[in-house]
Amino acid sequence: MRKLSFDIRVPVIQAPMGGGNLTTPELVAAVSNSGGLGSLAAGYLSAREIEQATRKTRALTERPFAVNLFAPGSREPLSGDVGAQLRLLGPIHDRLGLDPPAMPDRVAGLFEEQVESVLAARIPVVSFTFGLLPEDVMNRLHGQGAFVIGTATTVAEAKMLEAAGVDAVVAQGSEAGAHRGTFDVPVEPPLVGAIALVPQIVDAIRLPVIASGGIMDGRGIVAAMALGASAVQMGTAFLTCHECGAAAAYKRAVLEAADDSTSLTRAFSGRWARGIRNRFMEASNRAGAEPLSYPWQNSLTGPMRAAASRKGETAFLSLFAGQGTRLARSMSAADLMQALEREIGDAITDVSSRAGSPTGRTAPA
Amino acid sequence: MRKLSFDIRVPVIQAPMGGGNLTTPELVAAVSNSGGLGSLAAGYLSAREIEQATRKTRALTERPFAVNLFAPGSREPLSGDVGAQLRLLGPIHDRLGLDPPAMPDRVAGLFEEQVESVLAARIPVVSFTFGLLPEDVMNRLHGQGAFVIGTATTVAEAKMLEAAGVDAVVAQGSEAGAHRGTFDVPVEPPLVGAIALVPQIVDAIRLPVIASGGIMDGRGIVAAMALGASAVQMGTAFLTCHECGAAAAYKRAVLEAADDSTSLTRAFSGRWARGIRNRFMEASNRAGAEPLSYPWQNSLTGPMRAAASRKGETAFLSLFAGQGTRLARSMSAADLMQALEREIGDAITDVSSRAGSPTGRTAPA
């Protein structure tokens, strides 16, 4: 038990960052080539786009990598205040030179075609968020030897994933950037910090646990290991890497952010997500208009976000990021992976050296 | 630098838990006698009560312990909806057999007399929350050799505390139970998780950092050390100890709580605090009435909380607790301290043993 059966030397998974082509084949391959596990975010991709991205990634690495999907249960019936959202977006579209915002008739569900594409490509590690996989999909993935990773934000969700047959569970702490993986119906979005969430999940299930949320360097990785995690998943740390497809303005915003500059919002996609506070989030809060449910809000704000990304207008971009922004670094993914590996060793040496001595009194200089 | 100059063998500070006589002399002394640092919560105590409590504690231990005060800036002018709060409390008072709720004319400020009492008792470690100490108080404490600890919830607050001359900073993660120590004016209450907050504060100041929030066992302590903390402060873990003065029903509620059963509320004191969701929190939310500012709301709900505590009615009690509730244990503080010491060793051994091997693949069974 507690074994990640795919082959990695450094216990680091680059998180599948969903929107706007962030997880380029170059990023995914660089992480896998450096001894970690890269992840291609495929939740918004068509079967054809998945096929292309996995082919490009395989041209750059012979190592295993993961593909991430959204569970089909992530789609909700339309709710929220359509009129108010259109009024909020109208002037912004105008300013960005876009046609007036329009409510889509429907938002295509991609899950079935995504699964076929992932199966056809024989992806070795398949992770997913926002719920449980249908049983037949889980069986088909396992049937071809895939390692399947689910995402939990509470002990209850971790137990549901274990019961559904996943091979490992990502414990997503409240610090994590972008979407909360929450799928069990909560009183309010559960926001348990990683230092509390990870050991509680480790104690509650028998599977390997992958810690995520606010982990940015070797100190965070060793902390997660001490909490009982078998590996970590890091998003924000890779967001500012050269190979990541994020707009330069987005990367700059992350590199310049303070530790408490993020908030949770439903303004961009309809699902709760953590991002750096900006004008659109504030305008949405001020308007007081209920965002639409997912995927409707996501589809509605798509043109704004794409245009803002092209123009480097961070005011209207979803600046998804976790709470460790002050530790973000601008470097290549290979350099970051090397730094992490070195820092893991340093942090272990530091902690071990303080074990024999009265740790309360002699602390690192 | 990074040295806690008071004498502890185990890097554990028992958190000053403020309300309802939780930090009994027996609890404080047991922690200090076991090699950690006990803390007497004196924020709500008169000078005479502080004098009595410290005398009783000294009769039980020769080891150092801390006294915790609220910074005077914690008091706010009256705001909120008095009428609505009285309407909310009326039926509850009735049910608990209390006189109808009444708005206090004034709530006495205790800070000046508390400081004189602490100085007269020559307390070796003085911690405080909710702001900065007046410069003259800091100077007088330092003048008699006290070690002074402030509380920060952001990097900005940690820097303000360092500039004000504290000797160490508690980094309070979002996981922490009871009141947020936040004092710098925020857009919204900052809720940075410990795994992200601690290393960012460690990098930003030169003082020893004490990690708090969701730390319940040796795994959490070693995680905090890996993040760069010199010690940890633990509240919820000591709340369920035999020596803690919490009502039996309160302890039971903590021992039975799930990982995601807490929320932040202003309903009890006017300040944001984390507690297990109960009927009063829900009734307050439903009523939609703005709680009064601190200390007014605290004073107004005092009779309800005291009666609920006496009667074991958890529906009307402030069940303050952090996010690590599933790890809470019912035992004596001395036994808990022994367990923590053993677990620290175990966690360090575990992390070190995984250093040489591919940690991603071989994880603890």
Residues 278-307 in A contacting B (C-alpha not used; CB under 8 Å): none
Give the A:B interface size as CB pairs under 8 Å: 260
Nearest to B222 among A8, A260, A351 (CB): A351
All residues of chain B having their beta carbon less than 8 Å from the beta carbon of residue A360 are 4, 8-12, 36-37, 230-231
Q: Note the pLDDT of residue A289.
A: 85
A108's tokens: 């295509």
Element (H, E) at B170: strand B168-172
ipTM of the complex: 0.95
For residue B276, how many other CB atoms are within 10 A of its CB?
A: 22
Q: Note the pLDDT of residue A364.
A: 36
**Shortest distance, CA A23 to any CA of chain B (angstroms):** 22
Give the pLDDT of chain B (365 residues) as one tens digit per residue.
367 878 799 999 999 998 768 999 999 999 999 999 999 999 999 999 999 999 999 999 999 999 999 999 888 999 999 999 999 999 999 999 999 999 988 888 899 999 999 999 999 999 999 999 999 999 999 999 999 999 999 999 999 999 999 999 999 999 999 999 999 876 578 999 999 999 999 999 999 999 999 999 999 999 999 999 999 999 999 999 999 999 999 999 999 999 999 999 999 999 999 999 999 999 999 998 899 999 999 999 999 999 999 999 999 999 999 999 999 999 999 999 999 999 999 999 999 988 655 444 333 33
Verify whether the Cβ–Cβ distance A2 to B365 is below 8 Å: yes
CA distance A135 to A142: 11
Q: Cα A168 vs. chain centroid, distance in angstroms?
A: 16
A231-234 β-sheet, strand order: A12-14, A231-234, A209-212, A168-172, A147-152, A125-129, A66-70, A39-41
All residues of chain B having their beta carbon less than 8 Å from the beta carbon of residue A327 are 196, 199-200, 203
Q: Tokens 């449980």 map to which residue?
A: A132
CA distance A59 to A36: 17
Q: Note the pLDDT of residue A355.
A: 66
Q: Note the pLDDT of residue B7.
A: 77
**pLDDT digit string, tens, across residues A114-165:** 999 999 999 999 999 999 999 999 999 999 999 999 999 999 999 999 999 9
DSSP 3-state of B156: helix
**Shortest distance, CA B179 to any CA of chain A (angstroms):** 16
**pLDDT digit string, tens, across residues A179-197:** 999 998 765 789 999 999 9
A273-276 β-sheet, strand order: A178-179, A273-276, A262-265
Verify whether the Cβ–Cβ distance A196 to B213 is below 8 Å: yes
CB contact A322 to B (< 8 Å): yes
Cβ proximity of A244 and A15 under 8 Å: no
Verify whether the Cβ–Cβ distance B196 to A1 is below 8 Å: no
Q: What is the pTM of this model?
A: 0.96
For residue A83, how many other CB atoms are within 10 A of its CB?
A: 10
**Shortest distance, CA A127 to any CA of chain B (angstroms):** 16
Give the pLDDT of chain A (365 residues) as one tens digit per residue.
367 878 799 999 999 998 768 999 999 999 999 999 999 999 999 999 999 999 999 999 999 999 999 999 888 999 999 999 999 999 999 999 999 999 988 888 899 999 999 999 999 999 999 999 999 999 999 999 999 999 999 999 999 999 999 999 999 999 999 999 999 876 578 999 999 999 999 999 999 999 999 999 999 999 999 999 999 999 999 999 999 999 999 999 999 999 999 999 999 999 999 999 999 999 999 998 899 999 999 999 999 999 999 999 999 999 999 999 999 999 999 999 999 999 999 999 999 988 655 444 333 33
Q: What is the 3-state secondary structure (H, E, C) of A28-91?
A: HHHHHHCCCECEEECCCCCHHHHHHHHHHHHHHCCCCCEEEEECHHHCCCCCCCHHHHHHHHHH
Q: Note the pLDDT of residue A106.
A: 87
DSSP 3-state of B211: strand
